[in-house]
Amino acid sequence: MTTSSVTPESHPTSSDESAHVPADLASVASTAPIEGGLGAYFRTYRQRVRSGDMGSLPAVSGLIVLVIVFWILHPQFGSLANFSDLLKQSSPTIFIAMGLVFVLLLGEIDLAAGTAAGVCATLMARLSVGYGWSWPFAIGAALVCGLVIGLGTGWLCAKVRIPSFVVTLALFLAFQGVTLFFVLNGAGAHGNISITDSFITNLYNGQMEPWLGWVLAVVAVVGYALVKVRQMTSRRSAGLIAEPVPLVAVKVAALAVLLAVAVYLLNLNRGGSGGSQLVNQGGQLVLVKPPALQGVPWVVLEIGFFFVVWSFVLSRTRYGRHVYAVGGNTEAARRAGIRTDRVRISVFVISSFMAAIGGVLLASNTHSVDANTGGGNTLLLAVGAAVIGGTSLFGGRGRPADAIIGGLVVAVIANGMADLVQGNNRDSIQYIVTGAVLLLAAAVDALSRRRAGAAGLG
C-alpha cells in the first residue's frame, strides 16, 4: 500500500480511548454492527458513501429519479398495468444479471450469458413443441443445458486459462449459431417456434391469486424479522456489538410497508376500464365482461426465491466467502488453501444456470423463440444491470440485490423511452440512452474505486 507511509498512525492509547466515541467510528469502514445508536449508523453510512463505497445508492436514487421523470413526461407510465409490466419486463435481465454478479465478483466476464439463454430457451421450446415433452422435462433440460455450458466455459477459463473475455466472446458467436440451428430445424411459418405449454407461458405472463400475494408478503416480512432478531439476540448474548433495536425495527417496517404497498397496487384490477365486449361464442355473439387482471406477477416470486438463495449463499456460506476472497485477491485465496480453480468454474456454472432461467422467461414472454432470442442487447443489458446496481467490474464487490435494482433501472429506461419516443427513432434513442447509462454506471464504479484508493482505502 503506497499511502501507508504518509498516513499518520494514531497513537495506540488515544485510538483506544476514542473507540468509544461514536463520532470517531465514522471513519471505520465496518461491515458489521457498530457501537452507538442510529446516529452513529447514519454517520458511518455517510462516511462510507463519501469515501467511495457507495453500494447501491446511485442506482436506487437513479431509479427514483427516472420513475419521477417518466411519470411527469408521460402520465401513462405510472399506470397500474405499466407497473406490473415493468416488473415482468425486467425479469429476464435480472436473472441473467444475478448470475453475472458471480462472474463479475471474480473480475471475470461472461459475454455468452445472453446467447446461452437463447440456446437453453430454444432447446426447451424444441423439446416442448417438437417432441411433446411436458414442461418439467423441457425446462429441466434447459437448466441442465445451462449447467453444462457453464461447466465448459469455466473449464476453459480456469484450467486451459484462456481469458474469459475471449472464451465467452467465442461462445457468444457460436451460441447464436446453435440457436439458429434449433430454430431453422423446428420453426413454423413465422420463423419461430411457438410455445403452447401454458405453464411455460405463465412463468412470465401469469399472476398469482391476490390472497397468495399477501401470504407471500407476510412470509417475507416475518422471515426477515426473524433472521434479524435472531442475529441481534445471538450477537448480544455472545457479548458482541449488535445492531440497535430501533434500526432493526426501522428496517423491518420499511420492508413491510414497501411490500404492502406493492402487493396492494398489484392486486387492484389493472385490466383497463372493464367495459364488456362482444365475443363470438359457439356461433353466437355474447356480451362478456373481461376477466379481472390482477395479482402479483409470478416473476416476482421467481426473482425473490433466487434472490434469497443466492444472497444466503454469498453471505452466509464458506463458498460465498471464498468467492469474495478469490475476487478480492486470488493469490491470497490460493495461499489460504482455497481451490481457486473450482471457485472460478463454479461462478460460470451459476452464471449460465441463471441465464438458462432468463432464457426460459424470454421465451415465455413472447410465447415463442426465434433466431434472435437471447441475442442483440440481452447480454449488455444484463451486464449493465449488474454494474448499475453497484457490482464492480474489477471484482470483489457485488450482491444479488444489485441485479434486481439495476435490472429495474434498465427496464424503466426501456419502458419509459418506448412510451416517450414514438416513430422511427424509437429504438435508436433507446439504445443510445441505455448505452449512456451503462457508461455512467461504469464511470461511477471506476471513480469510486479511485476515490477509495486516494482515501487510503486501497
Partner 1 sequence: MAEPTLSLRSIDKSFGPVDVLRKVDFDAYAGQVTALVGDNGAGKSTLVKCIGGSYSIDSGDYTFEGKQVHVHSPRQAADLGIEIVYQDLALCDNLDIVQNMFLGRETHGRVVLDEIAMEKAAAGALKSLSVRTVKSVRQRVSSLSGGQRQTVAIAKSVLWQSKVVLLDEPTAALGVAQTAQVLELVRRLADQGIAVVLISHNMNDVLQVADRIAVLYLGQMAAIVDRKDVDQQQLVELITTGRTGDIGLPATNATAGAV
The smaller minimum CB distance to partner 1, of residues 223 and 274, is found at 223
Residue 178 Cα to chain centre, angstroms: 26
- With respect to partner 1, which residue has the nearer C-beta, 48 or 367? 48
**Applying CB under 8 A, which of residues 212, 228, 328, 341 lies at the interface with partner 1?**
328
Binding mask 211-250 for partner 1 (x = CB under 8 A): -----------------------xx--xxx----------
* H/E run at residue 208: none
- The site string for partner 1 over 379-418 (x = CB under 8 A, - otherwise) reads -----------------xx---------------------
Using CA atoms, how far apart are residues 104 and 255, in angstroms rounded to an integer?
A: 28
Residue 313 CA to chain centroid, in angstroms? 15
CB of 49 to partner 1, least distance (A): 14
| 140/251 Cα distance (integer angstroms) | 37
Smallest gap from Cβ 351 to partner 1, in A, equals 20
Kindly tell me which residue out of 144, 151, 262, 457 binds partner 1, with binding defined by CB under 8 A. 457
The single residue among 33, 152, 206, 304 that binds partner 1, judged by CB under 8 A, is: 33
Nearest to partner 1 of 136, 239 (CB atom): 239
CB 451 within 8 A of CB 458: no
| Residue partners of 162: CB distance under 8 A and separation at least 6 | 156
Query: Which region among 11-19, 151-159, 178-186, 209-217 touches partner 1 (by CB under 8 A)?
Result: 11-19
Distance, in Å, from the CA atom of 11 to the CA atom of 272, rounded to the nearest integer, reads 69
Nearer to partner 1 by C-beta: 27 or 79?
27
Instruction: Pull the grid cell for residue 424.
Output: 422511427
Tell me whether residue 26 or residue 67 sits nearer to partner 1 (CB atom).
Answer: 26
Q: Which stretch binds partner 1 (CB under 8 A): 30-38, 114-122, 167-175, 427-435?
A: 30-38
> Which residue lies nearer to partner 1 by CB, 1 or 278?
1
For residue 371, which of 182, 180, 114, 199 has the smallest C-alpha distance?
180
CA angle 438, 441, 442 (to 5 degrees): 85
The reply on whether position 317 binds partner 1 by CB under 8 A is yes
Choose the stretch contacting partner 1; rule: CB under 8 A; options: 3-11, 54-62, 203-211, 293-301: 3-11
DSSP string, 293-314: --S-BHHHHHHHHHHHHHHHHH
Q: Is 318 exposed, middle or buried (0-12, 13-18, 19+ CB in 10 A)?
A: exposed
Contact between 338 and partner 1 by CB under 8 A: the answer reads yes
- Which among 442, 448, 454 has a CA at the least distance from the CA of 53? 448
Cell 449488455, located at residue = 380
The DSSP call for residue 89 is H
Residue in 15, 134, 185, 198 binding partner 1, rule: CB under 8 A: 15
In angstroms, give the least distance from the CB of 399 to partner 1. 12
Number of residues binding to partner 1, judged by CB under 8 A: 51
Q: Tell me how far CA of residue 214 lies from CA of 41, 260, 262, 350, in angstroms.
A: 32, 8, 10, 31
User: Stretches 10-18, 56-64, 264-272, 374-382: which one binds partner 1 (CB under 8 A)?
Assistant: 10-18
Cα(35)–Cα(13) distance, integer angstroms: 19
Task: Kindly state the DSSP code that residue 270 receives in the 8-state scheme.
Answer: -
Smallest separation (angstroms) from partner 1 to the CB of 326:
9
- Provide the 10 A C-beta neighbour count for residue 228: 17
**Using CB under 8 A, which of the segments 199-207, 282-290, 423-431, 449-457 binds partner 1?**
449-457
Query: CA angle 263-58-56, nearest 5°?
Result: 60
Rounded to the nearest whole angstrom, what is the least distance from the CB of residue 39 to partner 1 in the complex?
A: 17
Residues that bind partner 1 (CB under 8 A): 1, 4-10, 12-13, 15-16, 19, 24-25, 27-34, 234-235, 238-240, 316-318, 321-322, 324-325, 327-329, 331-333, 335-338, 396-397, 452, 456-458
